[in-house]
């Protein structure tokens, strides 16, 4: 999974917004759009960043919406594991993470979010369940996750296609080769 090739430029765009401050002001949104699971885990644990942090500079968007918009399924799962709630109300643009994924044609993320919601509705959530880890207890206390859901998240197949975040620059490079003729010469 990951961004469609035509979405790669948006990562550069994000870095230039707010007088180049967005990557520092909104590091979890940046990590989510890039699919940087290690950064997501660090920011939501050691860094103390709320996984549902609202980006006031952009329609009160949340990290989960950025990950869904860019097809970053592993990031979507990591954010949910950290406590992000895909069923929160829409942002100021009227979008939920699922709506973002639908709009951007990331079918794997849409299917995952649909299955997550279905399983969540069928789960018997109870914060007194035995053998909950602290993270699972945090989710269960919010009525979001129980042990079977946590196991399902860990086992969900996240293999797929799409460029890695570090490959987005290669698409730009390819487009500029041969006096910008390569994309037409080698479609």
- The pLDDT, as a whole number, for residue 129 is 46
- Chain segment 119-156, per-residue pLDDT in tens: 877 764 544 444 445 555 555 544 445 556 677 777 77
Alpha-carbon Rg for the chain, nearest whole angstrom, is 18
Asked if residue 170 lies in contact with residue 3, where contact means CB atoms within 8 angstroms, the answer is: no
- Chain segment 40-69, per-residue pLDDT in tens: 999 999 999 999 999 999 988 999 999 999
pLDDT exceeds 70 at position 172 = no
pLDDT exceeds 80 at position 27 = yes
- The pLDDT, as a whole number, for residue 134 is 53
Domain co-membership, 80 together with 151: no
Backbone dihedral angles phi then psi of residue 132, each to the nearest 5 degrees: -85, 135
pLDDT exceeds 50 at position 17 = yes
- The pLDDT, as a whole number, for residue 130 is 47
| Residue where a domain stops, chosen among 46, 76, 108 | 108
pLDDT exceeds 90 at position 6 = no
Backbone dihedral angles phi then psi of residue 61, each to the nearest 5 degrees: -75, 155
CA distance linking residue 23 with residue 95, whole number of Å: 22
Domain co-membership, 34 together with 87: yes
Domain co-membership, 137 together with 59: no
- The pLDDT, as a whole number, for residue 187 is 46
Domain co-membership, 145 together with 64: no
Share of the chain above pLDDT 90, in %: 46
pLDDT exceeds 90 at position 71 = yes
Domain co-membership, 58 together with 99: yes
| Residue where a domain stops, chosen among 108, 137, 171 | 108
**pTM for the full predicted model:** 0.73
Confidence of residue 167 (pLDDT cuts 50, 70, 90): low
The sign one gets for the Cα dihedral 54, 56, 58, 60 is positive
CA distance linking residue 16 with residue 22, whole number of Å: 7
- The pLDDT, as a whole number, for residue 147 is 59
The rounded mean pLDDT for the chain is 79
| Parent domain of 152 | 123-157
pLDDT exceeds 70 at position 160 = no
Domain co-membership, 98 together with 73: yes
CA distance linking residue 17 with residue 185, whole number of Å: 34
Domain co-membership, 90 together with 141: no
Asked if residue 26 lies in contact with residue 55, where contact means CB atoms within 8 angstroms, the answer is: yes
- The pLDDT, as a whole number, for residue 104 is 94
């Amino acid at each position: 999974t990951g961004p469609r090739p035509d979405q790669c430029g948006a990562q550069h765009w994000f870095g230039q917004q707010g007088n180049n401050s967005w990557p520092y002001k909104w590091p979890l949104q940046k990590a989510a759009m890039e699919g940087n699971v290690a950064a997501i885990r660090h920011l939501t644990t050691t860094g103390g960043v709320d996984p549902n942090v609202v980006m006031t500079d952009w329609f009160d968007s949340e990290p989960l919406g950025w990950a869904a918009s860019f097809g970053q399924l592993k990031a979507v799962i990591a954010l949910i594991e950290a406590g992000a709630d895909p069923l929160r109300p829409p942002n100021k643009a009227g979008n939920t993470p699922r709506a973002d994924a639908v709009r951007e044609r990331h079918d794997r993320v849409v299917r995952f979010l649909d299955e997550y919601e279905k399983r969540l509705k069928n789960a018997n959530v109870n914060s007194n369940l035995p053998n909950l880890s602290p993270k699972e207890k945090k989710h269960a206390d919010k009525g979001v996750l129980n042990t079977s859901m946590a196991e399902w998240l860990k086992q969900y197949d996240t293999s797929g296609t799409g460029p890695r975040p570090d490959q987005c620059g290669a698409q730009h490079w390819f487009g500029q080769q041969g006096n910008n003729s390569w994309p037409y010469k080698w479609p």
